[in-house]
Amino acid sequence: MSGTPQSFMIFKEELRKAEVEKKRLEALYESKLKSLSLQVSILKEKMGAQEEMMKSALEYAIKLEKELENVKEHVNNDLIKNSSGYH
């Protein structure tokens, strides 16, 4: 009969240790999750910034392409005008 309370005490102590460990793991998990979420949000921001840089570069290239087309058209028109003007 005297063994039962002792094993109960051991069990209770083990239970307490398990609870402490559970809380420690929970805190660790929360902190890792928080750090991971932060990393994900930074990565998202970085990817958005890269997308914006690409967009700006492509818009600039499109603008240059249009300007080049205009210059070509202008030169062609001048050539046509000049070729009919002197003959």
Q: Provide the mask over 25-54, with x wherever binding to other proteins is found by CB under 8 A and - wherever it is not.
A: -----------------x--xx-xxx-xx-
Of 76, 57, 40, the closest CA to residue 84 belongs to 76
* Three-class DSSP category at 87: coil
Tell me how far apart the alpha carbons of residues 48 and 40 are, in angstroms, rounded to a whole number: 12
For the CB of residue 59, give the shortest distance to other proteins in the complex, in Å.
Answer: 8
Smallest gap from Cβ 6 to other proteins, in A, equals 54
* Smallest separation, CB 60 to other proteins (Å): 5
